[in-house]
Amino acid sequence: MEQAVARSLRTRRLTNLLLAAFAASALLLAALGIYGVVSLTVSGRIHEFGIRLALGAQAGDIFRLVVGQGLLLALTGVTIGLASASWLTRFLGSSV
């Protein structure tokens, strides 16, 4: 009986494993993409940050500015992704 149950669950386990692997790779790619955009933004604003520091800004202020903009970028992407997924789910559900 245990072997029959194991055989019947094999496909489901494989599907779940593949789904988890794709989800992990998507998360990694998204994190690398956000890192790349933030890195490019920071490298383009080095002079601005230098002037801010010379005028009295603390390093923590610069850090909060960069992290805040990165979080805004990430939250915008998540919002657009969730809205698109919701719309696509309804669209595909209505066509079946």
DSSP secondary structure of 44-90: HTHHHHHHHHHTT--HHHHHHHHHHHHHHHHHHHHHHHHHHHHHHHH
What single DSSP character describes residue 95?
A: -
Which two structure tokens, joined as six digits, stand for 44? 């383009």
Q: Alpha-carbon distance 58 to 52, whole Å? A: 8
- pLDDT (tens, 9 = 90+) of the chain, 96 residues, equals 888 778 888 888 999 999 999 999 999 998 898 899 889 999 999 999 999 999 999 999 999 999 998 899 889 989 999 999 999 998 888 766
Q: At what angle do helices 2-44 and 46-54 cross, to 10 degrees?
A: 60
- pTM for this prediction: 0.67
Q: What is the pLDDT of residue 60?
A: 95
